[in-house]
Amino acid sequence: MKKLEDYSEDIYKCTKCGLCQSVCPVFEATGLESAVSRGKFTLLNGILTDKIKMGKNMSRYLDLCLGCRACFEFCPSSINAEEIIIQARHHSFNINGISFVKRFIISNLNSRLNLNLLKLALSIYRKSGLINTANFIAEKISFLKQPVCVFNSQIKETIRYKKQKPVKSDSKLKIVYFPGCINNYINPSVKNSVKIVLEKNGFEVNIPDFVCCGMPARSAGDFKTFKKQAEKNLDLIDDNIDFLLTDCASCGSIWEHYAEIVDDKYKEKARNLTAKAVNINKFLAEIDFYIPENTEITATVTYHDPCHLKRFQNVYTEPREILKKIPGINFVEMNEADKCCGVSGTFCVVNPDISKAISVKKAENILDTNAQIVSTGCPSCKIGLSNGLAIFNKIMPIYQPVELLAMLYLKENNNKR
Share of the chain above pLDDT 70, in %: 100
Q: Are 233 and 305 within one domain? A: no
Q: Are 147 and 189 within one domain? A: no
Task: Write down the pLDDT at residue 142.
Answer: 77
Assigned domain for 213 exists:
yes
**Region of poorest pLDDT, from 273-282, 342-351, 376-385:** 342-351
Whether residue 393 has pLDDT greater than 70: yes
Q: What is the mean pLDDT of residues 259-265?
A: 95
Q: Are 11 and 71 within one domain? A: yes
Q: Are 306 and 410 within one domain? A: yes
Q: Are 56 and 78 within one domain? A: yes
Tell me whether residue 334 is exposed, middle or buried, using C-beta atoms within 10 angstroms of its C-beta: 0 to 12, 13 to 18, 19 or more: buried
Q: What is the mean pLDDT of residues 338-349?
A: 90
Task: Dump pLDDT digits (tens) for 109-160.
Answer: 999 999 999 999 999 998 888 888 888 888 888 788 888 888 888 888 889 9
DSSP for 100-138, please give it. Answer: HHHHHHHHHHT-HHHHHHHHHHHHHHHHSSHHHHHHHHH
Separation of alpha carbons 119 and 125, rounded Å: 10
Q: Are 201 and 249 within one domain? A: yes
Q: Are 313 and 388 within one domain? A: yes
| Residue 243 binned pLDDT confidence (cut-offs 50, 70, 90) | very high
Residue type, 110: N
Q: Are 76 and 115 within one domain? A: no
Task: Dump pLDDT digits (tens) for 198-216.
Answer: 999 999 999 999 999 999 9
Separation of alpha carbons 394 and 365, rounded Å: 13
Assigned domain for 72 exists:
yes
Task: Dump pLDDT digits (tens) for 128-137.
Answer: 888 888 888 8
- What is the overall mean pLDDT for the chain? 92
Q: Are 309 and 410 within one domain? A: yes
Report the Cα–Cα distance between both ends of the chain, in Å, rounded: 57
Task: Dump pLDDT digits (tens) for 60-82.
Answer: 889 999 999 999 988 888 899 99
Q: Are 179 and 277 within one domain? A: yes
Assigned domain for 165 exists:
no
Task: Write down the pLDDT at residue 345.
Answer: 84
Rg of the chain over Cα atoms, rounded to whole angstroms, equals 22
Spatial CA neighbour of 378 closest among 338, 328, 335, 332? 338
Task: Dump pLDDT digits (tens) for 85-109.
Answer: 999 999 999 999 999 999 999 999 9
Assigned domain for 260 exists:
yes
14-28 CB burial, b ≥16 within 10 A, e <16? beeeebbbebbbbbb
Assigned domain for 115 exists:
yes
Assigned domain for 49 exists:
yes
Q: Are 75 and 47 within one domain? A: yes
Task: Dump pLDDT digits (tens) for 14-71.
Answer: 878 888 899 999 999 999 888 888 889 989 989 988 898 888 888 888 999 999 999 9
Domain boundary among 222, 257, 285: 285
Task: Write down the pLDDT at residue 417.
Answer: 61
Q: Are 303 and 379 within one domain? A: yes
Separation of alpha carbons 403 and 221, rounded Å: 33
Task: Write down the pLDDT at residue 146.
Answer: 83
Task: Write down the pLDDT at residue 395.
Answer: 85
Assigned domain for 74 exists:
yes
The residue segments making up the domain with residue 114 are 102-155
Task: Write down the pLDDT at residue 148.
Answer: 85
- How many domains are contained in the chain? 4
Task: Write down the pLDDT at residue 302.
Answer: 98
**What CATH code is carried by the domain that includes residue 389?**
3.40.50
pTM: 0.94
Assigned domain for 170 exists:
no
Task: Write down the pLDDT at residue 143.
Answer: 81
